[in-house]
Amino acid sequence: CKRIVIKIGTSSLMLADGSVNYQTIDRLAYVLTVLRNQGKEIVLVSSGAIGVGLNHLNLPHRPKSIPEQQAVASVGQAELMNLYTRFFSHYNQIVGQILMTLDIVQFPESRRNAVNAFEQLLKMDIIPIVNENDAVSVEELDHLTKFGDNDRLSATVAEIISADLLIMLSDVPGFYDKNPTAHPDAVLFHTIHAVTSKEMALAGGNGSKFGTGGMATKLKAAKQILKNKQQMVLTQATDPTVLFDILAGKEIGTYFVR
């Protein structure tokens, strides 16, 4: 595996009290820098703009109106990148920001431009940090009631740059036969070869219906990855050094492969 996309979710970047999880950001910066220094090409897809924005503006919860959410995302994205830039700089690693909108998949020219940016950053040993451009892509924000759909964004990034592996860092150790948060007896799937309606049903059905697309969007991302004959690992973000184990071939989390 040379070219790796790592996606981290809001739930891993924020603590329960709404403050930023600096420890995870620091560990992530360390681990990704080590991998980069080993010659890997690393792309980080990071959620968290709204969470960090709420914290930075001292707002107790997400505002109702879309323009207010856009403003929070705008502040939060800048602060999120400020944090990443600072923590990565402790390890002498430079990062760049790429904000994506849907047109990147819709228009070949935009797609080419995005790919060029990724390729150039990687050539310069920079770690691109990607997010949806939440301050302007309102449709995404609309869907993003609690979780941004950075899951499918990360699969699309993996697709356009032909990544060897997508690693999703979440708040659960993997994909289970039922929601492990609600069912202690849930059983972890070690390997998934296809994402069908059978698997989708185990994620609690259509996420949008309940406004908690948590596992559903991850399975949709996995489906896209498998369609493109790529591979994905879903595991927990608690200790980012887990990335070393995954790349050493240890059986961690849920492995999606054809």
Q: How far is CA 207 from CA 93, 131, 202, in A?
A: 37, 21, 11
Residue closest to ligand ADP (Cβ): 9
Tell me which DSSP letter residue 82 carries. Answer: H
Render the burial of 63-102: b for 16+ CB within 10 Å, e for the rest: eeeeeebbebbbbbbebbbebbbebbeeeebebbbbbbbe
- If one asks whether residue 178 binds ligand ADP (CB under 6 A), the answer comes out as yes
- If one asks whether residue 87 binds ligand ADP (CB under 6 A), the answer comes out as no
Per-residue x/- mask for ligand ADP, residues 93 to 132, rule CB under 6 A? ----------------------------------------
Query: H or E element: which one contains 183?
Result: none
Phi, then psi, of 9 in degrees rounded to 5: -95, 160
Map tokens 């948590």 to a residue: 214
Q: Which stretch binds ligand ADP (CB under 6 A): 71-79, 83-91, 98-106, 172-180?
A: 172-180
- If one asks whether residue 11 binds ligand ADP (CB under 6 A), the answer comes out as yes
- If one asks whether residue 10 binds ligand ADP (CB under 6 A), the answer comes out as yes
Phi, then psi, of 127 in degrees rounded to 5: -95, 110
Q: Which stretch binds ligand ADP (CB under 6 A): 28-36, 55-63, 88-96, 178-186?
A: 178-186
- If one asks whether residue 175 binds ligand ADP (CB under 6 A), the answer comes out as yes
Residue number, 40 or 218, with CB nearest to ligand ADP: 218
Classify 20 as helix, strand or coil: strand
Figure out which of the listed residues 154, 170, 224, 235 binds ligand ADP, where binding follows CB under 6 A.
Answer: 170
Map tokens 């060029």 to a residue: 116
Figure out which of the listed residues 204, 238, 245, 257 binds ligand ADP, where binding follows CB under 6 A.
Answer: 204
Residue number, 76 or 122, with CB nearest to ligand ADP: 76
Q: Which stretch binds ligand ADP (CB under 6 A): 73-81, 98-106, 116-124, 175-183?
A: 175-183
Alpha-helical segments (H) within the chain: 10-13, 22-37, 49-56, 66-89, 103-106, 108-123, 138-143, 150-160, 197-202, 207-210, 214-227, 242-247
- If one asks whether residue 196 binds ligand ADP (CB under 6 A), the answer comes out as no
- If one asks whether residue 181 binds ligand ADP (CB under 6 A), the answer comes out as yes
Figure out which of the listed residues 87, 118, 147, 255 binds ligand ADP, where binding follows CB under 6 A.
Answer: 147
Q: How far is CA 202 from CA 42, 142, 149, 179, 258, in A?
A: 31, 25, 19, 8, 19
- Provide the binding-site residues for ligand ADP, judged by CB under 6 A: 9-12, 147, 170-172, 175-176, 178-181, 202-204, 214-215
